[in-house]
Each structure stands twice: as C-alpha cells, then as structure tokens.
Amino acid sequence: MITTEQPSKAKEEKGIRIPHVWTIILFCLILAGVMTYFVPAGMYDRVEVAGRKVIDPATFHYIAQTPVSPFNWFVSIIEGFTASMGIMSMIWFTIAATDVYTESGTLHKMVGWIMNVCRGNYILVMGALMAFFAVRGAMGAFELHIPFVPMTIALSLACGCDVMTGLAIAMVPTFAAFAYGPINVYTVAVAQGIAGLPVYSAMTFRVVVWLVMMVVTFWFVLRYAAKVRKDPSCSVTGFSNPSSADFDIEDIRKTKMTGRQKILAFMLLSTIGLQMVGPMLWKWSFAQIGALWLISGIIAGLVAGFDNYKICDIMGRACAGIFVGVICIGFARSVSVVLTNGNIMDTVIYGLSIPLKQLPKSISSLGMLVMQSVINFFIPSGSGQAAVTMPIMAPLADVIGLTRQTAVMAFQLGDGLTNMIIPTMGALVVYIGVAKVSFSTYFKWILPLYGMLMGIGAVALVVATLINLGPF
C-alpha cells in the first residue's frame, strides 16, 4: 500500500526524496531488460504434479540467448496489466464498496455502538476498537483508518491515556493485522494467485498465527495504556490533542444507529463473512470476490438512500484514491514478463537456489523472510512487491524443497511487518503525522513489538516448513 500524497516544498528541500514507487518498478523493468542481454538464458524442465506444472530441480540447463528489445520492455507493461486484471479489479471493487459504507456513516456509528457496549471500562473500549480495526486490517484496510486517528486520540485522552495510545489504537492493530491478514486482498490473495495456489488456502493455519499476533499486539498496546494511566510520566508523547479535528466522544456515544445503518452494518459483516468462506466452500477466485463487493457496494448505496450519481461518485473517488497502488500490480508484473520472455527467470531461480540449498529448509524459509523484508524498503507496496518477487520465490520454493504456501508466508510477513518501521511507507508517515508524533519517538516505541511479531513470524515459518504447509 502506498499513499499518493505529495510532499510539500519544505519537505522536498530536506534530505533525499525516495523515488516514486512507479519509478522504482520502471527501474526494475529496465534492469530486467538489460539483464536479458548479459545473464545466460537457462531453463528448467517442467513436470506435471497433481494437475499443475512445477519445476524439476535436477534439470536446469543453459539455452541460446533470447534478449528482449527495449521496445518490448514497454510492451511487457501492457501484458502485465492483462495478466493482473482479475486481481486489480477485485481490489478496486472491495475498496470502492467499503467507501460506500463509510460515506453512509455506518462505520462511525459502529464505533459508537462499541463504546456504549463497553461503557465504563476503558480496557474493553480500547480492546473492542482495536479488534474492529484488526478485522478490517486483516482484509487489507490500511490507509482507510487514518481518518479515525483524531477520534481515537480524543477517546484515549478521555480515558486518561496519552496521544501515543490514541494513535496506537487505530494504527498498530491495522498494521499488525495487515501483516498477516488471512484474507488480505493486497498481499495473501495477490501472492497466492501468482503462486498458483487456491485463493485464501491454508486458512486455518493462517488464522491461528494471526490470532497469536493479535494477542501480542493487543497486550503491548493495552499494557502501555495501563502504565500511562497509572503514571503519566511514562508517556512518550504527552496528553495534548494535536488535532483540530476533535470529536465529541459523548455525542458519538449518544447518537444511535438509524434503521438503515443497522441494515448496512449487518450487510457489511455478512459481506466480510462471505469473503472469508466463499473461497473455501465454493472455490471462489478474484472474479467472484470482486463481484461480491461490487454487488454489496451498490446495494449499500441504495439502502443508504444515495442516488446513482452519488454511488458512482463515491466508488469513483475510492478507485482514484488507490489508483497508484493498484496500478503497481500490473506494472510490477511486467518485470516477470521480461524475465520470462528473455528466458532468464529460471537462471535467476537457479542462482538464488544455490546458497539456499546449502541450508536446512527451515533456515531457507527464514532467508526468504529476510530477503522480502529488505525488498520492502525499496518497494513499499504489498501488491506491487508480490508481483515483482512471487514469480521468482514460488518456483524457487519448488527448487529448494519448500512449499509455495511457505514462500507466500515469507513474502507476507516480510512485507507486512516491516511496514511498521520503514520511513518509505507513506501510510506510516501519514498516521504519525496526523498525531504529530516524531518518527524517532514512534520508532523507539514500536521496535519491541516489531521484534516480538517478527519472532512469532519466524517460528510460524519454521512450523510451516516442518509440516509442509500446503496444499503445495
């Protein structure tokens, strides 16, 4: 995920600007094109196993060079878009429909309902709100929770906690849940699709790991909140609301859901539920999930009382807001198209496999995790990174004896968890900017949690390796 927010001139003058993610991907594309002229072309034989084509790791051999011309570097972009259209459409319709629910005021009223249910118990209030953000984060919500930060800060202050607590309520469960969300449309769905795995497969294992991460995340935030509430000197940020967009907590609590909003809340929860079970029960792919959210969004708009112009406007603005990130999927896919057309994809896989094959399989999976974490610094887009790396990592897993599901896990954890600490992640900068918290303050505060979650992820990868997490 990335933000399209443009830095101010003041920001531009300070330090070195990170290139736009499209520029980074274009550089990777050109590099891949140049490589087709110099890297020896090679190929593995493919064999059919359980109805699918996989690499035979003992059959690598060099072939005649087949360089890709500069003009065809750019033709590959169009081919990448064509190959990725299903994934891109699913993401667009999911976010577009979610924005219809947001525009109806249903999400804010759901927050108010949670506060009323937990009245008088700040732990329950914060925990329930974090659970709300965590569930949405697991779906792929990321930047969508930024508007809630002023409200959660106001709530935190009303409960006797500080600004960091308010920021953490909205942001930390979002980031942590996104990192290993079992139904994350940007990472797990994209990566599994590219790897040839059934969409949202290995759900049970993923849910267990996700729940463990959520328990640790909730404990970390609520423990800090309790410390600050008991001893204000423990605060790392202070207690002054930095936002002019304060929310009247009592007003939110007193305002009840309308009949329409109750129906919309039920529809939203039902849509999320169908998104989770559809791939498992009915073998849904990207097309079915995208259609589900499109239907849900249209009906939600009608239930909310919006006319056709407003529904289309909301969906259009939502799609425009994530245009940069979604386009990254097709754009980045072009890199693998060039590597494949130049017949050097297998050569790259062979080269990476040599050092990894010398290691125990469990250590190899951790090596993949480290590689994905480093790559995320340069490509801070989950879907974009999946499109760039999974065409290599999936067959590489075949070569070194790992399941492709394990390779997807390594990607998802490496991408998702590092989002919490890297300054190239635009959404992170926006979150802490809204709260007026410095990056250094935030970094010191979040680092212990990052270390714990990365440790859980590493253990999960080792377990996945030992049990040959599949289906393949």
- Is residue 151 scored above 80 in pLDDT? no
Highest mean pLDDT among 188-197, 227-236, 436-445: 227-236
Overall domain count for the chain: 1
Give me the mean pLDDT over the 434-440 stretch. 80
41 in a structural domain: yes
- Is residue 283 scored above 80 in pLDDT? no
- Residue numbers of the domain that contains 424: 9-466
Mean per-residue pLDDT over the chain, rounded = 81
More confident residue, 212 or 24: 212
* pLDDT, tens digit (0-9, with 9 covering 90-100), for 94-123: 778 878 887 888 877 776 776 677 665 778
Q: Based on C-alpha coordinates, what's the Rg of the chain?
A: 23
Give me the mean pLDDT over the 61-79 stretch. 93
120 phi, psi to nearest 5 deg: 90, -5
d(CA 375, CA 381): 10
435 in a structural domain: yes
d(CA 191, CA 394): 9
3-state secondary structure the chain: CCCCCCCCHHHHHCCCCCCCHHHHHHHHHHHHHHHHHHCCCEECCEEEECCEEEECCCCCEECCCCCCCHHHHHHHHHHHHHHHHHHHHHHHHHHHHHHHHHHCCHHHHHHHHHHHHCCCCHHHHHHHHHHHHHHHHHHCCCHHHHHHHHHHHHHHHHCCCCHHHHHHHHHHHHHHHHHCCCCCCCCHHHHHHHHCCCCCCCHHHHHHHHHHHHHHHHHHHHHHHHHHHHCHHHCCCCCCCCCCCCCCHHHHHHCCCCHHHHHHHHHHHHHHHHHHHHHHHHCCCHHHHHHHHHHHHHHHHHHCCCCHHHHHHHHHHHHHHCHHHHHHHHHHHHHHHHHHHCCCHHHHHHHHHHHHHCCCHHHHHHHHHHHHHHHHHHCCCHHHHHHHHHHHHHHHHHHHCCCHHHHHHHHHHHHHHHCCCCCCCHHHHHHHHHCCCCHHHHHHHHHHHHHHHHHHHHHHHHHHHHCCCCCC
d(CA 240, CA 451): 29
Give pLDDT, residue 246. Answer: 52
The dihedral sign for the CA sequence 51, 54, 59, 63: positive
Give pLDDT, residue 102. Answer: 79
* pLDDT, tens digit (0-9, with 9 covering 90-100), for 220-259: 999 999 999 899 988 888 887 775 545 566 666 677 788 9
Give pLDDT, residue 209. Answer: 92
471 in a structural domain: no
2 in a structural domain: no
Highest mean pLDDT among 252-261, 325-334, 369-378, 381-390: 252-261
452 in a structural domain: yes
Q: Which of 210, 410, 185, 397 is nearest to 284 (CA)?
A: 185
Give pLDDT, residue 448. Answer: 95
- Is residue 358 scored above 70 in pLDDT? yes
1 in a structural domain: no
- Is residue 85 scored above 80 in pLDDT? yes
Give pLDDT, residue 8. Answer: 38
- Is residue 127 scored above 60 in pLDDT? yes
Full-model pTM: 0.67
4 in a structural domain: no
410 in a structural domain: yes
pLDDT above 70: percentage of residues in the chain: 83
- Is residue 48 scored above 50 in pLDDT? yes
More confident residue, 144 or 445: 445
More confident residue, 165 or 155: 165
